[in-house]
Amino acid sequence: MPVLIKRGSKPKQGLNIIIVGCGKVGRTLVEQLSDEGHDITVIDQNAQRVQDIAAAYDVMGINGNGASFSTLMDAGIERADLIIAVTQSDELNLLCCTVAKRVAKCSAIARVRNPDYGNEISYLREKLELAMIMNPELEAAREAARILFLPSALEVNSFANGQAELIKFKLPAGNPLDGRELAALSEVSEASVLICAIERGGEVTIPSGDYVMQGGDIITFAASRKAAIRFFYDIGIKTHSCKSTMIIGGGKAAYYLAQKLIDGGTSVKIIELNRERCEELSVLLPKAVIINGDGTDVDLLKEEGIEYVESFVPLTGIDEENILLTLHARQVSDAKVITKINRINFKDVISGLDLGSVIYPRYITSEAIIGYVRAKNESGDSNIETLYHLFDHRAEAIEFKIYEDSEVTDTPLMELDLKKHLLVSFINRRGKIIIPSGQDCIKRGDTVMIVTTHSGFNDIRDILKEH
């Protein structure tokens, strides 16, 4: 019999959500979805994990098999709006969702990471009637590849089906933008970009035109890829993509990243300790150089050319190794570095280190799911297409699809009573990216990206002040 762990009586409004799997991703989902007011039940076969999460986040916890009919009934599957299966087993995740769909009318999301299913994701999603299939390693590889194709950036987030991007970079001291007001940006570059958020001294600001930029600022701007490259060129920042990459570790994320980089014309070298895995990778990635060896061996790294490689990406399963490898690469080369971190217990310490671009696979997964949950919870005139958290969750970038006319449509932005600490960053109208002025209007059929330090927006009308 499953062991039932009671939660407190904290009142909540929102969706009834069952999360199967209390690992790193499951815990992140519980933390963020419970903060947004949803009623959460977690299921895991590890009783201690269930107890820890139930106590920490005041949710219902059940110790049992999430694919078991009786366990799902105990979890209230008949009343559930959504089940999210994020156990370590792809097959168990798919089975959990399949069983749930047979006994309830809930939506279902499964985590599926094995590359063997890579070409079957659309088929599985359609045949099993799943709302979403998430692959954290693949999404992390996509994010890393976007950065390596634009290595001046710290982060590159994609919107409007890849036609627009939100790009973060560190402004060098002495740059033409150093000491310049935002309103005077056109004096330096005529590229169509909008600076959406700036971090300085740990504080995040949604800037107005009189904001004066300074060297050392972490700046996030919205633009098309073409406009972004022009902007970087105009302010004297190199934009050429990395032509060579060294990857440490040969796991799933390394495979996905290598595949994308090779397709983009980048030469790839992977160092992997396990000989069997090296043999597998040499078959899967015939254009990559696969080295069987210890990627933490300083002499081996030197021998394989760490001093001359253009980019360096440690993708071991151990955060501490990834961090130390990045710091070593920083000392001995000018390579663009990307650091993958799975745990976030020491976030404050990590943010103080010079790690280049940092990728958190669990956040990538949770953000896609939270965007879906917010859209499902709102039956308004718009829908969330994409959601990213920025600056360590202190700001959000949300892309809305505008389905119906409302208070925000067909009115110049300058006439809308918008909340403070918010910017309409771009409008995508039939594939054309518009960086809006005060005279531009939002129209039905557009997608619109908002950057804000507010949290919890579900609908485009949330951008208006409440009266």
Q: How confident is the model at residue 6 (pLDDT cuts 50, 70, 90)?
A: very low
Query: Is the predicted pLDDT of residue 7 greater than 90, yes or no?
Result: no
Q: Are residues 349 and 424 both part of a single domain?
A: no
Q: Is 1 part of any domain?
A: no
Query: Is the predicted pLDDT of residue 117 greater than 60, yes or no?
Result: yes
Give 392's DSSP letter: T
- Domain harbouring 22, CATH code: 3.40.50.720
Q: Are residues 21 and 93 both part of a single domain?
A: yes
Q: How confident is the model at residue 346 (pLDDT cuts 50, 70, 90)?
A: low
Q: Are residues 125 and 40 both part of a single domain?
A: yes
Q: Average pLDDT, whole number, for the chain?
A: 89
Q: What is the C-alpha separation between 142 and 261, in angstroms, rounded? A: 10
What are the phi and psi torsion angles at 234 (to 5°)? -65, -35
Query: Residue 156 carries which side chain, given as an amino acid letter?
Result: V
State the average pLDDT over residues 6-20. Answer: 64
CA dihedral 362, 367, 368, 370 (to 10 degrees): 120
Six token digits for residue 65: 């098999």
pLDDT, one tens digit per residue, over 127-143 is 888 989 988 888 899 99
Q: Are residues 154 and 128 both part of a single domain?
A: no
Six token digits for residue 144: 């890393």
Q: Are residues 447 and 392 both part of a single domain?
A: yes
In terms of pLDDT, which residue wins out, 227 or 383? 227
In terms of pLDDT, which residue wins out, 349 or 108? 108
- Residue 383's domain comprises 367-463
Go through the chain and tell me how many residues it has.
467
Query: Is the predicted pLDDT of residue 116 greater than 90, yes or no?
Result: no
How many CB atoms within 10 Å of residue 22? 26
Q: What is the reported pLDDT for 223?
A: 93
Q: How confident is the model at residue 178 (pLDDT cuts 50, 70, 90)?
A: very high
Listed in order, strand segments (DSSP E) in 26-144 are 39-44, 60-63, 82-85, 107-111, 132-134
State the average pLDDT over residues 247-259. Answer: 95
Query: Is the predicted pLDDT of residue 70 greater than 70, yes or no?
Result: yes
State the average pLDDT over residues 412-427. Answer: 93
Q: Are residues 146 and 73 both part of a single domain?
A: no
Phi-psi region at 386: left, alpha or beta (left = phi > 0; alpha = psi -120 to 50): beta
Q: Is 301 part of any domain?
A: yes
Min mean pLDDT across 171-175, 388-392, 424-428 is at 388-392
Decide if 246 contacts 271 (C-beta within 8 A).
Answer: yes
94 Cβ contact partners less than 8 Å away, ≥ 6 residues apart:
85, 110, 112, 124, 128
What are the phi and psi torsion angles at 211 (to 5°)? -70, 130
Decide if 38 contacts 372 (C-beta within 8 A).
Answer: no
Boundary-marking domain end, from 359, 388, 418:
359
How many CB atoms within 10 Å of residue 284? 14
Q: What is the reported pLDDT for 238?
A: 85
Query: Is the predicted pLDDT of residue 54 greater than 50, yes or no?
Result: yes
pLDDT, one tens digit per residue, over 438-456 is 999 999 999 999 999 998 8
Query: Is the predicted pLDDT of residue 103 greater than 60, yes or no?
Result: yes
In terms of pLDDT, which residue wins out, 24 or 9? 24
Q: Are residues 82 and 196 both part of a single domain?
A: no
In terms of pLDDT, which residue wins out, 171 or 374? 171
Q: How confident is the model at residue 380 (pLDDT cuts 50, 70, 90)?
A: low
pLDDT, one tens digit per residue, over 294-314 is 999 999 999 999 999 999 999
Q: What is the C-alpha separation between 329 and 307, in angstroms, rounded? A: 8
**Domain count of the fold of the chain:** 4
Q: What is the reported pLDDT for 235?
A: 95
Decide if 346 contacts 355 (C-beta within 8 A).
Answer: no
Q: Are residues 73 and 155 both part of a single domain?
A: no
CA dihedral over 29, 31, 33, 38, signed as positive or negative: positive
Q: Is 169 part of any domain?
A: yes
Boundary-marking domain end, from 78, 102, 134:
134
Q: How confident is the model at residue 386 (pLDDT cuts 50, 70, 90)?
A: confident
Q: What is the C-alpha separation between 237 and 257, in angstroms, rounded? A: 25
pLDDT, one tens digit per residue, over 181-239 is 999 999 999 999 999 999 998 899 999 899 999 999 999 999 998 999 999 999 999 88
Six token digits for residue 88: 């370590």
Six token digits for residue 56: 């920490």
State the average pLDDT over residues 147-174. Answer: 91
Q: In sequence order, what are the beta bridge partners of 198?
A: 205, 219
Q: How confident is the model at residue 343 (pLDDT cuts 50, 70, 90)?
A: confident
Q: What is the reported pLDDT for 363?
A: 83
Query: Is the predicted pLDDT of residue 371 greater than 90, yes or no?
Result: no
State the average pLDDT over residues 150-163. Answer: 89
Q: How confident is the model at residue 467 (pLDDT cuts 50, 70, 90)?
A: low
Boundary-marking domain end, from 82, 108, 134:
134
Q: Are residues 14 and 129 both part of a single domain?
A: yes
Give 415's DSSP letter: G
